[in-house]
């Protein structure tokens, strides 16, 4: 096995220290859990002279609710997401996505920020957060900017962060009463598997009518994506099995998957229909229960 090329490791204790190091050092990269980055360094897919370890920056590890918004620090691990009662109760789809990631060891080390910044089209936390209408807080020594989460993804394994920037927080509105969500993932086996395709749905009902629908899919395009045409088909309408099938078909038409080692494009397109229909039915059922 190829050894990982040598690098200098820096261990800041605060966010401002981390940002200053990232700004000052040439050829520096942040590292959180290292579960993606160390593999890429070993394979020579990326290089770095300096790694800035975010593991000791405790101000980037939190999950809290403030003014009807849920805020999650970028260095929060998947295991911490799983242990959060707030996440399990208010955003079960994110809990389900975190539970599906890798193994106990990967969930203990891997972080939400790393999963998003690695920008894999198949990242499991991306569709749930897109469906929750999440925004990303991005900081540099010059200040903080807020971007829609979708703008963080620039292409396969490419994020849109500028040199010297760190993802610091993910935030989204707390789902209101009458909403229901679902996360569905298909892998090549039941556990410890990357997604062949993953789907997240958020529905908000009012008197049986769908007030808001958000559908996001992963591993079907160059980045995780929302499905606006299918969402529009549902919004303002009384939901039914037929309408849900039609929206799921629209997703099959919109996706642009590729053939790769995990599945063919044709199979992924068909599974986009199957998993979206399943996610919509599940979210609809949960939303109806929430309104009782
Ligand atoms: C065996 C195995 C199984 C896996 N299973 C899954 C799975 O089922 N589903 C899944 O989605 N993924 C899976 N992964 C991928 C990986 O574990 C996750 O993507 C994980 O969340 C990455 O987080 P990390 O903290 O380890 O990121 P790191 O490896 O530390 O970083 C990843 C990238 O993000 C950058 N980065 C990290 N934090 C920040 C930040 N705050 N600001 C800016 N840039 C940052 C790094 O520079 C690097 O480019 C698996 C990996 C392995 C090795």
CATH number at residue 284: 3.30.390.50
pLDDT at 39 exceeding the cut of 80 = yes
pLDDT at 292 exceeding the cut of 80 = no
Under 8 Å between Cβ of 230 and 250 = yes
Summarize pLDDT for 213-237 with one digit per residue, the tens.
999 999 999 999 999 999 999 999 9
* Mean pLDDT across 114-123: 98
pLDDT at 71 exceeding the cut of 80 = yes
Summarize pLDDT for 95-104 with one digit per residue, the tens.
999 999 999 9
Last residue of a domain, one of 150, 173, 196: 173
Is 22 a domain residue? yes
Instruction: For residue 256, name the pLDDT band (cuts at 50, 70, 90).
Output: very high
Return all residues near 199 (Cβ < 8 A) that are at least 6 apart.
127, 182, 183, 184, 185, 215, 216, 217, 218, 272, 275, 276, 278, 279
> Edge to edge, what strands does the sheet with 135-140 contain?
63-66, 69-73, 166-173, 135-140, 143-148
Q: Is 127 in the pocket of ligand 1 (CB under 6 A)?
A: no
Summarize pLDDT for 7-17 with one digit per residue, the tens.
999 999 999 99
Is 129 a domain residue? yes
What count of other Cβ atoms lies within 10 Å of the Cβ of residue 93?
29
Is 2 a domain residue? no
pLDDT at 151 exceeding the cut of 90 = yes
Last residue of a domain, one of 41, 56, 71: 56
Looking at the structure of the chain, the number of domains it has is 3
Query: With pLDDT > 90 as the criterion, what percentage of the chain qualifies?
Result: 93
Whether residues 130 and 207 fall in one domain: no
Under 8 Å between Cβ of 166 and 247 = no
Whether residues 120 and 221 fall in one domain: no
Is 3 a domain residue? no
**Pocket mutation for ligand 1, best pick of 117, 196, 223 (most atoms within 8 Å of C-beta):** 117
Is 16 a domain residue? yes
* Mean pLDDT across 101-112: 97
Whether residues 215 and 109 fall in one domain: no
Q: Is 54 in the pocket of ligand 1 (CB under 6 A)?
A: yes
Q: Is 272 in the pocket of ligand 1 (CB under 6 A)?
A: no
Going from the Cα of 100 to the center of ligand 1, the distance in angstroms, rounded, reads 14
Whether residues 97 and 155 fall in one domain: yes
Whether residues 63 and 44 fall in one domain: no
Whether residues 199 and 248 fall in one domain: yes
Whether residues 198 and 273 fall in one domain: yes
Is 1 a domain residue? no
Going from the Cα of 211 to the center of ligand 1, the distance in angstroms, rounded, reads 35
Phi-psi region of 137 (alpha: psi -120 to 50; beta: other; left: phi over 0): beta
Whether residues 20 and 71 fall in one domain: no
Going from the Cα of 33 to the center of ligand 1, the distance in angstroms, rounded, reads 7
Last residue of a domain, one of 155, 173, 191: 173
Ligand 1 atom nearest to 75, measured from its CA = 41
pLDDT at 289: 87
Is 123 a domain residue? yes
Whether residues 70 and 87 fall in one domain: yes
pLDDT at 85: 98
Whether residues 192 and 88 fall in one domain: no
Range(s) of the domain holding residue 233: 179-291
CATH of the domain at 87: 3.30.465.10
Under 8 Å between Cβ of 29 and 48 = yes
Phi-psi region of 222 (alpha: psi -120 to 50; beta: other; left: phi over 0): alpha
The whole model's pTM is what? 0.97
Average pLDDT, the chain: 96
Instruction: For residue 269, name the pLDDT band (cuts at 50, 70, 90).
Output: very high
* Mean pLDDT across 92-111: 97
Query: With pLDDT > 70 as the criterion, what percentage of the chain qualifies?
Result: 100
Return all residues near 278 (Cβ < 8 A) that are at least 6 apart.
182, 184, 199
Is 113 a domain residue? yes
Instruction: For residue 208, name the pLDDT band (cuts at 50, 70, 90).
Output: confident
Give, using CA atoms, the residue closest to atom 43 of ligand 1: 166
pLDDT at 1 exceeding the cut of 80 = no
Summarize pLDDT for 154-195 with one digit per residue, the tens.
999 999 999 999 999 999 999 999 999 999 999 998 888 899
pLDDT at 190: 83
* Mean pLDDT across 105-124: 98
Whether residues 145 and 212 fall in one domain: no
**Per-residue tokens: 205:** 């009902």
Whether residues 36 and 90 fall in one domain: no
Going from the Cα of 85 to the center of ligand 1, the distance in angstroms, rounded, reads 23
Q: Is 196 in the pocket of ligand 1 (CB under 6 A)?
A: no
């Amino acid at each position: 096995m190829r050894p990982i090329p040598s690098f200098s490791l820096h261990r800041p204790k605060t966010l401002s220290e981390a940002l200053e190091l990232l700004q000052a050092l040439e050829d520096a990269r942040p590292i959180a859990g290292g579960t993606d980055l160390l593999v890429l360094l070993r394979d020579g897919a990326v290089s770095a002279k300096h790694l800035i370890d975010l593991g000791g920056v405790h101000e980037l590890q939190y999950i809290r609710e403030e003014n009807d918004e849920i805020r999650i620090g970028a260095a929060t691990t998947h295991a911490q997401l799983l242990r959060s009662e707030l996440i399990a109760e208010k955003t079960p789809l994110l809990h389900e996505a975190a539970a599906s990631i890798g193994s106990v060891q990967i969930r203990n080390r891997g972080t939400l920020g790393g999963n998003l910044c690695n920008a894999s089209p198949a990242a499991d936390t991306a569709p749930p957060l897109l469906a929750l209408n999440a925004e990303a807080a991005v900081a540099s020594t010059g200040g903080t900017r807020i971007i829609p989460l979708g703008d963080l993804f620039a292409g396969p394994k490419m994020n849109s962060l500028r040199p010297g920037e760190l993802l610091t927080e993910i935030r989204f509105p707390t789902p209101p009463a009458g909403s229901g969500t679902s996360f569905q993932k298909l892998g090549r086996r039941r556990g410890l598997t990357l997604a062949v395709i993953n789907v997240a749905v958020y529905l908000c009902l009012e008197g049986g009518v769908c007030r808001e629908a958000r559908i996001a899919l992963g591993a079907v395009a160059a980045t995780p994506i929302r499905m606006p045409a299918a969402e529009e088909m549902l919004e303002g309408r009384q939901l039914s099995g037929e309408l849900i099938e039609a929206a799921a078909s629209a997703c099959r038409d919109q996706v642009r998957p590729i053939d790769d080692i995990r599945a063919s494009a044709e199979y992924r397109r068909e599974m986009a229909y199957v998993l979206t229909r399943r996610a919509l039915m599940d979210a609809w059922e949960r939303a109806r229960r929430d309104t009782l």
